[in-house]
Amino acid sequence: MATSAATKRLTKEYATISKSPPPYIIAHPSEKNILEWHYILTGPPETPYDGGQYWGTLMFPPDYPFSPPAIRMHTPSGRFQPSTRLCLSISDFHPKSFNPAWEVSTILTGLLSFMTSEEMTTGSVRASEHERKLFASRTRWWNSTGGGSKQPSTPSQSSSNTRGIGAIKAGDGGAKFRFEWPEIDEENCKWMKEKRINPQTGLPLPLQSQHGPCSPEVAGLRRRPGGSATSGVGAVVQGGQVARDSWLSRNKWRIVFGTLFTYILVARMLGDGAVSTSA
């Protein structure tokens, strides 16, 4: 339970950070516990995290500000292990280096600065710029769905560094985020609907053609002049009939003259044969 001094200090800091939030940072204490703070860092421009929505927690000790908080980032970022306590000079890993004059805004500004650097520490990971951009594009989906379907815990997820108050298990369906950030969760759901994001996978759903499996051009090739569709065999038979009728109409006079010429030639040959026999 928080001391009266800690409660008074955190209440004052909440009023300050709500009135004048630092760039790319918002934060608030949980309704159930003033020592549990939730923050969202928005990835700054010209970084691999541009536009990303990074949610995490600060767990303050009862004697704050004389001891620092435990710092976690739950949203996968390619920079930190999700829900893992981070070893920073402003975190509970180094209580002796913590300055009581530092406030919540100071702590989160320092976290954002460390995130956009390449310095390594306990809880940080290495990833390419491309990988971090992919993580950034999926942060809204992850926050509001908890990473899609529920996932079984693994030994790495249950290590001592991921246990404790404030740790979030992947696959919780987004329940914790939804409770702490209902308005932002609603915005995320609208965003996923507009972008046609599959809630289970975080990937865009395939587009469905309004004209069925065939394009309008292909469908037109499969229709009779009257408009009804035909099968492949029917189309071939009908095509042959149309071609034959068209050839006859174009060459009917040639056929007539050719037939007449052939008849005269045959008659003459038969007549000459008869004269030769009588002679």
Query: What confidence tens digit (pLDDT) does each residue in 2-56 have?
Result: 899 999 999 999 999 999 999 999 999 999 999 999 999 999 999 999 999 999 9
Bridge partners, residue 57, by sequence: 38, 72
Backbone angles phi, psi at 14, to 5 degrees: -65, -40
Instruction: Point out the residues that are catalytic.
Output: 87
Whether pTM > 0.85 for this model: the answer is no
pLDDT for residue 127 is more than 80: yes
Segment 196-224 mean pLDDT = 64
Backbone conformation region of residue 227, classed left if phi is above 0, alpha if psi is from -120 to 50, else beta: left
- d(C-alpha 1, C-alpha 268), whole Å: 127
Q: Are residues 79 and 115 in contact, defined by beta-carbon separation less than 8 angstroms?
A: yes
Q: CA of 131: how far to CAs of 73, 102, 128, 196, 220, in Å?
A: 17, 33, 5, 22, 45
State which amino acid sits at residue 253: W
For residue 9, the SS3 value is helix
Segment 222-250 mean pLDDT = 48
Range in 17-31, 134-148, 211-225 with the lowest mean pLDDT: 211-225
Handedness of CA 162, 166, 169, 171 (dihedral sign): negative
Residue listed under structure tokens 């008849």: 263
- What is the pLDDT confidence band of residue 173, given thresholds at 50, 70 and 90? confident
